[in-house]
Amino acid sequence: MSENDARRPLPPQPAQEQVPPGLTGAMKPVPDHGEETYVGAERLKGKVALITGADSGIGRAVAIAFAREGADIAISYLSEDQDAHETARWVEEAGRKAIVLPGDITSDDHCRHLVRQCLETFGELDILVNNAAFQRTYADIGDISTEEWDRTFRTNIYAPFFLARAAIPHMKPGSAIINTTSIQSRQPSPHLLAYAATKGAISNLA
């Protein structure tokens, strides 16, 4: 791809209408997670990564990339069993171990459970990727319920805090925590009020 090609805007994509959390197979077009293109170089050989939202999207892409770099993967996801097992298949195809861990990361107890399961299975935790997020669009602030606001914050900012608090005591020097933010943290869209607010908070969670 030339520099000029990279600067050209992408063609509009069809709207995606699914009840959250949604499934990869129902998306049109189906996302490219690097299944056929990413080539690793063993830069994470012997490491263990816990990735939230690893069933699909950015989370699956990270899981595939990390596995091809040599890491074993703990796949955290809400309830999308088919997608999570597909991610696990790609991890195992890369010659690494994978565990699938369903459950709701808005729960402090579940976040502690994720860390325990990772340690019990692999014996260590070197990389925590806080990727899972909840996002809905609303034309008017009056349409956002208190429950919706709470769910967005508990998923997008409480969970990374819960997980970091649980993981850090078990992480050795040189380990890493990666928090996924968004352009919404700097250029918020009015129809993504709750989501943008959490991404701004994540940018300061360091």
Catalytic residues: 195
Q: Which residue has the tokens 């499934």?
A: 23
102 membership: H or E segment, kind and range? strand 98-102
User: Quick one: angle between helices 159-167 and 108-122, nearest 10?
Assistant: 40
Which of 195, 181, 184, 182 is closest to 151 using CA atoms?
Answer: 195
The residues, any chain, with a CB within 8 Å of residue 105's CB and separated by 6 or more, are: 52, 76, 78, 111, 114, 132, 155, 159, 162, 163
Distances (CA, A) of 17 to 9, 100, 112, 120, 125: 23, 26, 33, 38, 36
Measure the CA angle with vertex 199, ends 118 and 5; round to 5°: 100
Which of 193, 165, 178, 161 is closest to 62 using CA atoms?
Answer: 178
H-type alpha helices, 94-167: 108-122, 146-153, 159-167
